[in-house]
Structure 1
């Protein structure tokens, strides 16, 4: 028997009691929770610790939603914030999107969602505006625990509470991003998400960016750089809600990305389940990553490639500042010497050789090179065997 999470009503009541609030605003995401719970209680094969974590994740997400709605009630001026998104970095996981995102966000006049903000995007009760120390302290405790639980984590995906990270963590708290399937083995829920509306979460994300901007006056006038491979699932939402943004697609051969990401997923699943095999991980994620790429190609074709920028992984490694300059210029940003210096400083401070190597093979996950090459043949021919547009 696997451990279970309770029904939605139980967790909603728990969140209301914890927050001392009862207004969730639009409850569109309740349907997502209802679709998620059966997957958690079945195919996720949760351990006792995993079920406790899943419950805590859902309740904490609901508490953040309650506090979010309350913040807008208490401070309606947040709605006056003007959010400008210069670029949205997408691409399959393990394609260098994190490196590109953080380098761009490090440039003067640019900003991104910091890791501690993605975990708690609403200031804690009583938190002084512009002084997020309570949230930073909680994030540090959590990150320390994660590094102890998964010693390989910093090699796989380096994190720092103050570094820009993926807003998919925020969107996951609305049960509408690939964060859920990246934390729990729930392929049926991933399928459900693909078959339902993926735009509303971006409308809510824009409101959350307004709150983050208002909460940190140092961001005044800055342009946002967003990033998550999960945006591949919702590019229609990106295009509708952030029409001015350039969509930056990072490209790397799936022969490398599929085993790398499968290794990351196997490590994360081990925190919540004792019985998900590497072969199960490989079988699910080779198909899922191919589906995300197919969605990207379809959405790109709908807009005839408008606002899309292609970046190859090999170019990021060999000439990162040049790539960053090109992306910013195409996004309409005047690249000053200060901006170039900011990107160069980030690269110098975050060299790959300063981290332990991340080791993996396709065969670890029951996959073969020929299998991956065939699955991604069309993508490889279109984007890896010709010069980027």
Structure 2
């Protein structure tokens, strides 16, 4: 089967039609309340609940809203979308708090020896997460539960016993996957394994908000505050999910953010097996810049690609330096490090090696589970995205490699990205 080649056109230019731009301009003058009170009120109306738990999150919510509101290069329509995302997060917080209040015993649900992939975004972490999660002895965090960890009060199952949260997640995925480039880069279907940092979004913590808007001020707040309380919040949300879906299986989890938060991660999960993937930062950067650039083109009046590039190159450097700084915090017997080319070269063997290091015997069933996942998720089934580091982003691969030599030399990471590369 021929693989469709996909490419983002005009990364540095507004490629909207005149009609599309006119529609955006037509709503520019409409009022939009971006206050904390408006978001909280909308969340209360949406859920019929009013207990948010601890209110310290309102400071972080206020930072996010104020920063997006002040950005004159963001369309009003995109600001409205961001407000909706904040409302959804606040509504989830209400639902989670309600569930904790209704079922306080859920906070004692055991989460023992989780396997946690902590690699950088666009480094193969989602692929490895899904390979490991295919093992029938493990359980993973599916997209639909990450999107809404606690059920709506009184809501009943749909036809065939379908969880309404699954149905809502599937509807969102059907809408998102209309963008074939996004769908090819990152599957987000309801049952697909999802990043654990999504569980911190209702706490208005997590670097996940940096993927939702251009918020360097919020980033600075996040980086200069201890994230341990937010990691305990995340674990309590995971406990609520565990309580809803009892299973003896160990958790298979992933969050790219963990690479720079190893201290808080181990405070929450002291017995975790920590899995790091080492990949050429140039390959990671060109993929990330393309994926995040898609959203940038949609939200900004004039795509500011140079600022986008500077932000994320700096961001990944910070993450890698933090990993190097804190790597010693992980007990040697709990740390597993693999190289990206090992995963690409032999998915099954790489996944089996991680499972063995996590204390799980690799059986015939293990191999069959992983091979079944690979057969049902062939590479390139939705197309392959072509990246152009220099043409789209004005970056020189050799210059980037010199900048990241502190990392690649420490771990013997080989170069892989080329102009026009696709993965």
1:232-251 equivalence runs, <5 A: 232-251=259-278
CA contact (8 A) 2:110 2:239 kept: yes
CA distance in 1, matches of 2:123, 2:215: 23
CA distance in 1, matches of 2:340, 2:82: 34
Displacement of 1:188 in angstroms is 2.2
Alignment equivalent of 2:164, drawn from 134, 158, 172: 134
Alignment equivalent of 2:224, drawn from 189, 192, 195: 195
Structure 2 SS opposite 1:311: strand
1:370-381 equivalence runs, <5 A: 370-381=398-409
CA distance in 2, matches of 1:327, 1:165: 19
1:102-113 equivalence runs, <5 A: 102-113=130-141
Alignment equivalent of 1:167, drawn from 179, 191, 196: 196
CA distance in 2, matches of 1:111, 1:46: 39
CA distance in 2, matches of 1:196, 1:231: 15
Provide TM-score, normalisation by structure 2.
Answer: 0.85
Alignment equivalent of 2:303, drawn from 260, 264, 276: 276
CA distance in 2, matches of 1:118, 1:127: 18
Change (3 A) 1:16 1:347: same
The aligned residue for residue 253 of structure 1 is 280
Change (3 A) 1:301 1:360: same
The aligned residue for residue 354 of structure 1 is 381
CA distance in 2, matches of 1:344, 1:44: 49
The aligned residue for residue 341 of structure 1 is 368
> For the pair shown, which has the larger CA radius of gyration, 1 or 2?
2
Alignment equivalent of 2:233, drawn from 182, 204, 210: 204
CA distance in 2, matches of 1:267, 1:239: 34
Are 2:350 and 1:320 aligned? Answer: no
Are 2:117 and 1:89 aligned? Answer: yes
How large is the Cα RMSD of the aligned pairs? 2.1
CA distance in 2, matches of 1:44, 1:231: 32
CA distance in 1, matches of 2:380, 2:185: 13
The aligned residue for residue 324 of structure 2 is 297
CA contact (8 A) 2:136 2:366 kept: yes
CA distance in 1, matches of 2:81, 2:162: 25
Change (3 A) 1:382 1:309: same
CA contact (8 A) 2:184 2:380 kept: no
CA contact (8 A) 1:85 1:226 kept: no
How big is each residue's C-alpha offset from its partner over 1:296-343, in whole Å with a ceiling of 9 and x where there is no partner? 111113447562211111110111111111111211223322122111
Displacement of 1:42 in angstroms is 2.7
CA contact (8 A) 1:50 1:272 kept: yes
Structure 2 SS opposite 1:26: coil
Structure 1 SS opposite 2:253: strand
Change (3 A) 1:5 1:242: farther
CA distance in 1, matches of 2:342, 2:381: 20
Range moving further from structure 2, 296-305 or 106-115 = 296-305
Displacement of 1:128 in angstroms is 4.5
Are 2:87 and 1:59 aligned? Answer: yes
Change (3 A) 1:250 1:158: same
Provide TM-score, normalisation by structure 1.
Answer: 0.92
Displacement of 1:4 in angstroms is 6.0
CA distance in 2, matches of 1:133, 1:380: 45
How big is each residue's C-alpha offset from its partner over 1:16-35, in whole Å with a ceiling of 9 and x where there is no partner? 23222211112232221122
Are 2:294 and 1:267 aligned? Answer: yes
Gaps in structure 1 of 5+ consecutive residues: none
The aligned residue for residue 153 of structure 1 is 182
How big is each residue's C-alpha offset from its partner over 1:122-157, in whole Å with a ceiling of 9 and x where there is no partner? 112223589552111111221122222x33111111
Alignment equivalent of 2:128, drawn from 77, 81, 100: 100
